[in-house]
Chain A
């Protein structure tokens, strides 16, 4: 007599098991999915090859080593129109990264200030911040970029307005910053002899701050003493560098913008295209970050603050030791995606003529060489790598602040 616990007799493999038996069905489905995927890929590739050959084109990345023959007005590394396309691409990529980095920093500052002020007890300030957040969040970033560009190029004075006995415009901050409709000129450092030591000292003091932070933490955990670490860190930040600077006889000097002829010269010229893009992206993303910060702080229940007060912690220490570590856990993951959004939105540089990756590789290079396929693929690949780098880097940070569970 057979019981229910007996396994069914092995009747050998039947074809129907491929569909009805869960052990085999998983394999069947995956094989079908794989075949379908490869068929679609083959279909697309075959079409591409046929279409390309009909146009007499091939897939060849050799054009990257040809002379680019166009100029880029905004560059971090040396570049001239005689350089090859890959160098133009690199200049564009660096410009994209520059605007992404500057944008992320400014957006975080704006976002944190706006988010905290929106929670302020001051009714008027809270309302102004609500107005800022809601107006920036709900209007396309492209419109903001164009609007900022229009402000900079239409509403600001021309360099000519600074001329003459009674100029109609004047420079800011004790004649060091010139804000004109052709761009903003700020003082730039001139690295004189021995300035390398100043830089090295500065980097070493950064290292010192980090080491001191570690030491203070270890000491706190061992003895319970809390050092006034903020002031000490501030001292390490400034004192050695300033000391070395004066000991070496001020090797670093500033070059101030000066009015020469019809335009300013000297100093660092920040183009309107870059400023508009930077400000618009920062204010737009800042409004999202403000909401993230606000919800992060609100997510910490009031009991936490009360418990910290009951333990006798001072408000500042409550913020540092109790509220912020918990709020950061809520804030970081959406913050990562905002940084990614900002980086991707920097491709809207096209609207104002800032030469980023899309405007060099995906713009002028693409148009002059006529290699759409290669340029687009390369550009997507680079954006993808940048995005993956940012998200993985931020994920490492996220892991370090995450709740350590057993």
Chain B
């Protein structure tokens, strides 16, 4: 009783609830914490705002005030002079006018549908490889796609690509037949021999006969030199990566092997390719490759470039796959040995499925690098987008136009590469949770 009396003040009723101070809620709090949390941070913010203002003030009017409809730079400037009184604005008309050329090069314009179809088929056949939710049946499309690509882009009858595919099928059959009796090495040799005999000796006459008899699925033939623009970048990039995958696997296995000779050859190849710039290999393709081949063989330039790009990316691919192999716990190898699997069976059934799955982000990153590097083909006379931008500038109508073309090309590459890098980051996160 007495204790309550001695206290001077006791609150009887609960205080009304007050909202949090203005500086601790909502936007103000966010600004205080993220932009002005100290003198250094405040300076950074002010500098950033200044930079953004400068860039925006310089670029936005130029970007947004551009002309979209004109047939030459002069016409463009005339329109701008009329509209603003000066010509400090973009001339996007070059994109609208040369859009098709930048995408397809000199591909005949009645056949654009083929390139488009090939592009969508490519996306469809990549989907089951990249996303495991897609039905596995789609993988059949993936296997058929390389042949469809060649047929759609270069034209001709279907018989040519069917016969090439038939070689693979025959090789596969031979492999299965011999595999029952003996070792992997023998069946692999049998498969290669059978396929080679078919391609070299039987298939050409069969194809000629069928073409004369029944020109099935004939499309207008397109020469390699008419390919260009964005299309050639995609073709070179995709075929380089797809073809380099098997070579890369073999090289990675060879580099990990205990066999001294095999290991030395593989290490030498990988380190050589990784030590020289791609551009020297491309010049080799355009200047020297004909020296190394039997007299009289003449490949077209696109094929030579694809061969060199494949060799180039297979060295990088080998390193990526080696990383995947090294990331597998040793127990997996030992478990495969304990089951009594021989080397190739262990690789095929236990090691590779896991190692390849881990390597997909790395493979995608290699692909991004390769895709960006396909712009180098402009140096050896293939008209990719950058090469075409030079060609467009050489035309008197568009002489002196730089930024519009660069921004367009950059944007196309940026969209592709950014999407791919996001995919690979997503996959990395997904794979990481799988392991924990």
Selected contact of A30 from candidates B261, B293, B417, CB within 8 Å: B261
Taking a contact as CB atoms under 8 Å apart, the answer to whether A47 and B403 are in contact is: no
Selected contact of B291 from candidates A37, A48, A123, A348, CB within 8 Å: A48
Please provide the 8 A-B residue pairs with the shortest distance between their CB atoms, ordered closest to farther: A138-B417, A387-B275, A123-B34, A344-B277, A140-B372, A384-B275, A30-B261, A347-B277
Measured CB to CB, the nearest residue on chain A to B413 is: A139
Asked whether any CB of chain B lies closer than 8 Å to the CB of A319, the reply is: no
Taking a contact as CB atoms under 8 Å apart, the answer to whether B279 and A350 are in contact is: yes
In chain B, residues 358-411, which have Cβ atoms closer than 8 Å to a Cβ of chain A? 368, 372-373, 375-376, 378-379, 386, 402-403, 406, 409-410
Asked whether any CB of chain B lies closer than 8 Å to the CB of A380, the reply is: yes
Measured CB to CB, the nearest residue on chain B to A30 is: B261
Taking a contact as CB atoms under 8 Å apart, the answer to whether B261 and A34 are in contact is: yes
Which of B37-45, B93-101, B210-218, B223-231 lies at the binding interface?
A: B37-45
A51 to chain B, nearest CB (A): 5
Contacts of A44 in B (CB 8 A): 292
Taking a contact as CB atoms under 8 Å apart, the answer to whether A383 and B276 are in contact is: yes
Asked whether any CB of chain B lies closer than 8 Å to the CB of A19, the reply is: yes
A29 to chain B, nearest CB (A): 6
Taking a contact as CB atoms under 8 Å apart, the answer to whether B279 and A143 are in contact is: no
Most buried by A among B47, B258, B276, B403: B276
Taking a contact as CB atoms under 8 Å apart, the answer to whether A139 and B414 are in contact is: yes
Asked whether any CB of chain A lies closer than 8 Å to the CB of B290, the reply is: yes
Contact A121-B386, Cβ < 8 Å, known A139-B372, A147-B406, A383-B277: no
Most buried by A among B49, B265, B280, B402: B280
Contacts of B265 in A (CB 8 A): 33, 37
**Binding site secondary structure of chain B:** helix
Which of B5-13, B281-289, B345-353 lies at the binding interface?
A: B281-289
Asked whether any CB of chain A lies closer than 8 Å to the CB of B122, the reply is: no
- Give the size range of B's interface with the partner: 35 or more
Contact A376-B287, Cβ < 8 Å, known A124-B35, A138-B418, A150-B403: yes
Asked whether any CB of chain A lies closer than 8 Å to the CB of B183, the reply is: yes
Asked whether any CB of chain A lies closer than 8 Å to the CB of B260, the reply is: yes
Count how many pairs of residues, one from A and one from B, have CB atoms less than 8 Å apart in the complex. Answer: 149
Interface string of B16-45 (1 = CB under 8 A from A): 000000000000000001110100010011
Known: A47-B292, A139-B413, A376-B284. 15 other contacts (CB 8 A): A26-B259, A47-B291, A51-B295, A122-B34, A125-B45, A128-B48, A140-B386, A142-B378, A146-B406, A147-B402, A147-B406, A344-B278, A350-B379, A372-B291, A376-B288
Asked whether any CB of chain A lies closer than 8 Å to the CB of B52, the reply is: yes
B252 to chain A, nearest CB (A): 16
A32 to chain B, nearest CB (A): 9
Contacts of A37 in B (CB 8 A): 261, 265
Asked whether any CB of chain A lies closer than 8 Å to the CB of B304, the reply is: no
Asked whether any CB of chain B lies closer than 8 Å to the CB of A243, the reply is: no
Taking a contact as CB atoms under 8 Å apart, the answer to whether A143 and B413 are in contact is: yes
Taking a contact as CB atoms under 8 Å apart, the answer to whether A48 and B292 are in contact is: yes
Measured CB to CB, the nearest residue on chain A to B419 is: A138
Contacts of B409 in A (CB 8 A): 143
Task: Give complex CA distance A344, B282 in Å.
Answer: 13
Taking a contact as CB atoms under 8 Å apart, the answer to whether B259 and A29 are in contact is: yes
Contacts of B284 in A (CB 8 A): 376, 380
Taking a contact as CB atoms under 8 Å apart, the answer to whether B283 and A54 are in contact is: no
Selected contact of B375 from candidates A26, A142, A147, A379, CB within 8 Å: A142
Task: Give complex CA distance A34, B261 in Å.
Answer: 7
Asked whether any CB of chain A lies closer than 8 Å to the CB of B421, the reply is: yes
Taking a contact as CB atoms under 8 Å apart, the answer to whether A139 and B410 are in contact is: yes
Contact A29-B262, Cβ < 8 Å, known A125-B45, A344-B276: yes
Asked whether any CB of chain A lies closer than 8 Å to the CB of B176, the reply is: no
Selected contact of B275 from candidates A121, A373, A388, CB within 8 Å: A388
Taking a contact as CB atoms under 8 Å apart, the answer to whether A138 and B413 are in contact is: yes
Asked whether any CB of chain A lies closer than 8 Å to the CB of B114, the reply is: no
Contacts of B421 in A (CB 8 A): 137-138
Taking a contact as CB atoms under 8 Å apart, the answer to whether B258 and A123 are in contact is: no
Task: Give complex CA distance A117, B44 in Å.
Answer: 10
Most buried by A among B279, B284, B413: B279
Contacts of B417 in A (CB 8 A): 137-139
Taking a contact as CB atoms under 8 Å apart, the answer to whether A362 and B283 are in contact is: yes
Asked whether any CB of chain A lies closer than 8 Å to the CB of B294, the reply is: yes
Interface string of B413-428 (1 = CB under 8 A from A): 1100110010000000
Selected contact of A380 from candidates B271, B276, B406, CB within 8 Å: B276
Measured CB to CB, the nearest residue on chain A to B286 is: A372
Asked whether any CB of chain A lies closer than 8 Å to the CB of B51, the reply is: yes
Contacts of B52 in A (CB 8 A): 124, 128
Taking a contact as CB atoms under 8 Å apart, the answer to whether A146 and B274 are in contact is: no
Contacts of A362 in B (CB 8 A): 280, 283
- Give the size range of A's interface with the partner: 35 or more
Contact A387-B376, Cβ < 8 Å, known A123-B34, A347-B280, A379-B280: no
Asked whether any CB of chain B lies closer than 8 Å to the CB of A134, the reply is: yes
B420 to chain A, nearest CB (A): 9
A333 to chain B, nearest CB (A): 12
Contacts of B299 in A (CB 8 A): none
Task: Give complex CA distance A34, B35 in Å.
Answer: 65
Most buried by B among A44, A117, A137: A137
Contacts of A122 in B (CB 8 A): 34-35, 37, 41, 44-45, 48
Contacts of A347 in B (CB 8 A): 277, 279-280
Asked whether any CB of chain A lies closer than 8 Å to the CB of B272, the reply is: yes
Taking a contact as CB atoms under 8 Å apart, the answer to whether A52 and B386 are in contact is: no
Contacts of B279 in A (CB 8 A): 347-348, 350, 358
Task: Give complex CA distance A77, B292 in Å.
Answer: 37
Taking a contact as CB atoms under 8 Å apart, the answer to whether A50 and B375 are in contact is: no
Contacts of B402 in A (CB 8 A): 147, 150, 154
A358 to chain B, nearest CB (A): 7
A129 to chain B, nearest CB (A): 10
Measured CB to CB, the nearest residue on chain B to A36 is: B265
Taking a contact as CB atoms under 8 Å apart, the answer to whether B379 and A128 are in contact is: no
In chain A, residues 47-75, which have Cβ atoms closer than 8 Å to a Cβ of chain B? 47-48, 50-52, 54
Most buried by B among A19, A52, A150, A380: A380
A336 to chain B, nearest CB (A): 12
B58 to chain A, nearest CB (A): 11
Task: Give complex CA distance A149, B95 in Å.
Answer: 21
Asked whether any CB of chain B lies closer than 8 Å to the CB of A135, the reply is: yes
Task: Give complex CA distance A376, B372 in Å.
Answer: 24
Contact A125-B261, Cβ < 8 Å, known A376-B284, A380-B276: no
Taking a contact as CB atoms under 8 Å apart, the answer to whether A121 and B413 are in contact is: no
Interface string of A367-406 (1 = CB under 8 A from B): 0000011001001100110011000000000000000000
Task: Give complex CA distance A117, B51 in Å.
Answer: 15
Selected contact of A387 from candidates B41, B276, B372, CB within 8 Å: B276
Asked whether any CB of chain B lies closer than 8 Å to the CB of A120, the reply is: yes
Please list 19 pairs of residues, one from A and one from B, whose beta carbons are closer than 8 Å in the complex, sorted by A's number: A19-B183, A30-B259, A47-B292, A48-B292, A120-B41, A121-B34, A122-B34, A125-B44, A140-B386, A141-B372, A142-B375, A143-B409, A147-B402, A154-B402, A347-B279, A372-B287, A380-B284, A383-B277, A384-B275
